[in-house]
Amino acid sequence: MSALTRFAQSRLAWLILFASALTLELCALFFQYVMKLDPCVMCIYQRVAVMGILGAGLIGMLGYANRLFRFAGILLWGISASWGLQIALELVEMQTNPSPFSTCSFLPEFPSWMPLHEWLPSVFMPTGMCSDVPWEMFGVTMGQWMVVAFTGYLLALALFILPALSVTKAKRVKQML
């Protein structure tokens, strides 16, 4: 079994995924409540995407030894990172090419069975405008940093998907017996 396969099927790999997503969520809350930067609806959607990655890490941490659990974690990871990247790219487009015809809504459009902005408005209620650029680091906006983050998650997924889902030699021998 290769080192990458052992790592991809370990609890540590999934813990790193979980911890990185938790760090992003805590940063978002720091920006909102300490730096007083109002999140727009696209920022809120990105929070939900990061929470999906956080959930994928949790699934993987709990079921790292089970191929079905790893598959569920990878599926959630891929869906969340892809959707998050799409939202981040849309936000960057709105910020770099502002137009009165291309704006975001004031309220999130969550499914009626999961109105996160009503259940936990302190985390999921947007209060900012998508076209505002309230923060930059090294000349890169928050939206652009999230493009980098979601791209990184997708690259890591591409690297891990086959090793995480592969059947190890020891398991193949057990199945034969």
Q: Is 27 a catalytic residue?
A: no
Query: What are the DSSP calls for the chain, one per residue?
Result: --HHHHHHTSHHHHHHHHHHHHHHHHHHHHHHHTS-PPP-HHHHHHHHHHHHHHHHHHHHHHHTT-HHHHHHHHHHHHHHHHHHHHHHHHHHHHHHS-BTTB---SS----TT--HHHH-HHHH---S-TT----EETTEEHHHHHHHHHHHHHHHHHHHHHHHHSPPHHHHHHHH-
Q: Is 104 a catalytic residue?
A: yes
> Distance between CA 139 and CA 17 in Å, rounded?
27
Q: Which of 6, 70, 104, 172 is catalytic?
A: 104
Q: Which of 6, 11, 27, 47 is catalytic?
A: 47
Q: Which of 6, 11, 27, 40 is catalytic?
A: 40
Q: Which of 11, 70, 130, 172 is catalytic?
A: 130
Q: Is 47 a catalytic residue?
A: yes
Residues known to be catalytic: 40, 43, 47, 104, 130
